[in-house]
Amino acid sequence: MTDGCISINGRRRLTGETTVQGCKNAALPCLTACLLCDRGCSCLGGCPALSDVENTIEILERLGAECVFDRAGELVTVRAENVFGSSVDSGMMNKMRSSILFMGALLSRTGEADIGYPGGCEIGARPIDMHLKAFRRLGVQIEEEGGMIRCRVRSRLKPGPVSLLCPSVGATENIMMLMAKSEGETVIRNAAREPEIVDLQNLLNAMGANISGAGSDVIVINGTDSLRGAEYKIMPDRIAALTYMAAAAACGGRILLRNVNLDHISVCCSVLRDMGAVVEKDGDGAVLTMSGRPNAVNAIKTLYYPGFPTDAQPAFMAAMTVAKGTTVFIESIFENRFRHAPELVKLGADIDVNICQAVVRGKESLSGAEVRSSDLRGGAAMVIGGLIADGNTRVRGVSHIERGYRNITEDFESLGADIRMIY
């Protein structure tokens, strides 16, 4: 992580091309799943050099796994045959939300797990009650004491039906890893449907698991005795792609993004077209062309996949600050996901926030200022705000952005932005 800031001289059309990184939200559970392999070596391609990826690798190594990270080639090799640990301390857990996935992986591998409570961005309540309730239903004994969650499988896991109160991505992934090596069939109902769930299923099956249904709301897990290492390529990062597309829609221009799956972002592409952008498939990527100011969209409501993703909401809000008309954002996933709005107001944006609703009245232009990101996706919104604004903008809190974007300044520079990291 860096203590510097991002300096942006705005009001430039974006023109150029860049390659979108591998998906952070797929890489983290896939790396964690490597713990399940009791033989062989796993090679995961497309793992971006992010702080969250680095932290996940550090946890794996502390548990006894051997890891090699070729950062330039974005390839992580994991050998987990000699895993000896079953505990993840609170300091490591606090660094990222996805650390909760070590609970399912460790229980599957060792029959026990002692972990702290997960951290991550402060964007609202993200309780792990669903994880704990499902695990208890599946035969795990759990005690919560002294800031730790102590989990044990005393005899064996108890496969069976599990119904989630809401389609939680983390709970779905945790159950998949817990039950991949169980004896019997587990059915997850109201499962999360995100593409990242499909990626995890595909990796686990490549390791020898028998899981089907990912991408739908019912996932069936038929447990197997053991898993082996596998080679796998992580999917493209759909949120990073949408960040660059939203920026180009706000600034105007023509950008080519390599390594994009448009099927994963179809709802957002529909919104971009409503804004006036032309979005076209180009081989393994996409081209976005935009002329003039974006059109406002009446309302954008975040929903579970395949709806509009909450992670894309900050970037699109930044774009709508210069739209022709008024857009209402309704945040239905996290109650504290508008923390970027006051920072955009510092740039001159006209935004009113009322709990989980934000009204954005588009203006012809914004003005550069110093702003600070307080979470990962809000930080991306600050960068887009700087790209839109007249004059110079400095974005602080860069460590949040580095959790999810490999080289956001270099990527935007490839797209024609006047942007750089300063220390």
Residue among 320, 265, 331, 382 at smallest CA distance from 10 = 382
How far is the C-alpha of 109 from the C-alpha of 103, rounded, in Å?
10
Torsion of CA 197, 31, 309, 20, to 10 degrees: -120
Classify 60 as helix, strand or coil: helix
317-351 exposure pattern, b = at least 16 Cβ within 10 A, e = fewer: bbbbbbbeeebbbebebbeebbbbbebbbbbbbeb
**H-assigned helices in 63-212:** 90-93, 101-110, 129-137, 169-179, 195-206
Element (H, E) at 20: none
> At residue 173, what is the residue type?
E
The answer to whether 121 is a known catalytic residue is yes
How far is the C-alpha of 25 from the C-alpha of 32, rounded, in Å?
12
Contact 221, 174 (CB under 8 A): no
Catalytic residue, from 23, 121, 251, 356: name it: 121
Classify 135 as helix, strand or coil: helix
Active site residues: 121
